[in-house]
Structure 1
């Protein structure tokens, strides 16, 4: 059994901003790898000769800024995605939680998968925008930014074009969840000790391993989804997609027939390389921003460490702690009347 825990010393808005800040920073730093991955999935001319050659061609043809195409759309997705994901996840967890507040690992993963699908539905148009911006040549652009891309796709291709390939997000959620389950259900065997004794490094490695396995299993669905997002009769060379198709199943068939089965994993190298720095930056930035929030709330003595403030009840929620401080401040304690007052 695993328990779903959150730090009650943070307000809901602070928790939300911690996740958003961490995601924004980690995605921005690893954007070059994301660009290479998506170009490889779409099948643009850049990716004909492998991972390093793709980097070189992007730089030669589009310059350094070419590695950050679509990053704004990717970052803009974070806040609504996290909001919907967090709300849906909490509701799903509460449905499956027992009287003691515990939930089994596989149910927690299932809740996460369903929450992810709901969040993806709310933010999917921005993912389509990201793919279109990355697939095009920055020096010969069809789209001139996030708003222009959204409006042009809607005007030229209709509303459904902004959700093209969404069914693959749903289908890909199943192998993704299976991969997570396979790793998390065997962590005690991998580390030879129960999960509650894991160090931060062990948790980090476990997260990277789970992401690697789950993303590898669901990767063919994402590859086909990216091709469907990029393909359009209104774009030069149909969006630079390397195969032409009509619908999801035809895309799978055409890719396997013309490029081979392994082409469904094009860009996997860039994706695997991205996992460690992305998770590392995500975890580090989250903890840094969390420390700032905890210091602001009065739980720790410095935003640079987790050393607890002396005399502070760590079980109090932020608003309860502030009320207690105001109450003690307003009372006229004598020099020796209350040791509690002196500690505050």
Structure 2
């Protein structure tokens, strides 16, 4: 009976998936913990910012959160955020690398930017759909008042008993419509820009360059899909229980115009742009430590 080769085609894909997934988990947790206070600010602006006649500012909101729960309150909901984003980031990076191999990318052949876009879109949707209920729980925990929920489990049970199973999937449609192009653009643009810079310079990009490329790629992708993310957050927060995606979009446009659709965008990018750069950089570095090539 033949002994299995450690590097044969049966073992290699499984090991690559595992290593890419592990690197993605670490990248997601590190990036979101670093930017958690900004994320909580953004969520408050998305949910409440348009309802108090422009009186809400970054300074007053920060002071309000600190006065209500102390400095630690700035990281309120971060555990759920990390629990949610770590496997999602792991699944997204792992799926992206796997789909690229399925399409035909090898160490000597690189697929086109359109193929990378399709791989990135599919990977983003796959990861988001599997993790989506955690996003809803994270939103509820982020905007809760002190002692409203005793724990993550308590939050889950109160949502389930009070609103049913469908409540965990509120906002899934705008989320899916947003994640498909966003993930495709971000992953394809990051990898393509990085390759072009390396070709132009004649050597590998350094950490600062990777952070910058990651930030640029993320900013471009998020600009196109932010209104849908804004709607998703409002649906998840359950502020208007009878709201739908079209109702919210119509109301925001009629009452506030473009400002309503992009409410909280600056805070969103202030948190997400550096988080994306940190995530890409950490993923590549961790992948190297685990002995696999990525991006």
The corresponding residue for 1:263 is 260
Residues 177, 28 of structure 1: alpha-carbon distance in 2 compared, 3 angstrom cutoff: closer
- The 2-side partners of 1:64 and 1:134 are apart by 14
The corresponding residue for 2:9 is none
Considering only CA atoms, is the larger Rg found in Structure 1 or Structure 2? 1
For 1:197-208, list aligned pairs within 5 A: 197=203, 199-200=205-206, 201-208=208-215
Find out whether 1:16 has 2:21 as its counterpart: yes
- The 2-side partners of 1:177 and 1:16 are apart by 17
For 1:118-197, list aligned pairs within 5 A: 118-137=126-145, 139=146, 141-176=147-182, 179-180=185-186, 187=193, 194=200, 197=203
- Aligned to 1:49, the other structure's residue is in SS state coil
- Aligned to 1:102, the other structure's residue is in SS state coil
Render the CA deviation track for 1:211-251: whole Å, top value 9, x for unaligned. 011112111100000000001xxxxxx4xx6xx75211001
- Aligned to 2:182, the other structure's residue is in SS state helix
**18, 24, 30: which one pairs with 1:25?**
30
- The 2-side partners of 1:277 and 1:181 are apart by 15
- The 2-side partners of 1:247 and 1:64 are apart by 35
With the length of structure 2 as denominator, give the TM-score of the two structures.
0.78
Q: Is 1:105–1:184's contact at 8 Å kept on the other side of the alignment?
A: no
Residues 87, 290 of structure 1: alpha-carbon distance in 2 compared, 3 angstrom cutoff: closer
Q: Which structure 1 residue ranges, 5 or more long, are not aligned?
A: 1-6, 232-237, 295-313, 316-344
Find out whether 1:35 has 2:40 as its counterpart: yes
- Aligned to 2:134, the other structure's residue is in SS state helix
With the length of structure 1 as denominator, give the TM-score of the two structures.
0.68
The corresponding residue for 1:97 is 104
Q: Which structure 2 residue ranges, 5 or more long, are not aligned?
A: 1-11
- The 2-side partners of 1:290 and 1:92 are apart by 17
- The 2-side partners of 1:259 and 1:187 are apart by 36
Q: Is 2:46–2:264's contact at 8 Å kept on the other side of the alignment?
A: yes
Give the CA deviation at 1:98: 6.0
- The 2-side partners of 1:165 and 1:96 are apart by 31
Point out the more displaced range, 10-19 or 126-135: 10-19
Give the CA deviation at 1:136: 1.7
Give the CA deviation at 1:86: 4.5
The corresponding residue for 1:332 is none
Root mean square deviation of aligned Cα: 3.6
- The 2-side partners of 1:182 and 1:96 are apart by 14
Q: Is 2:210–2:280's contact at 8 Å kept on the other side of the alignment?
A: no
Q: Is 2:17–2:98's contact at 8 Å kept on the other side of the alignment?
A: no
- The 2-side partners of 1:208 and 1:148 are apart by 36
Render the CA deviation track for 1:261-282: whole Å, top value 9, x for unaligned. 2122122222222245424543
For 1:175-254, list aligned pairs within 5 A: 175-176=181-182, 179-180=185-186, 187=193, 194=200, 197=203, 199-200=205-206, 201-231=208-238, 238=239, 246-254=243-251
Query: Could you say which structure has the higher helix fraction?
Result: 2
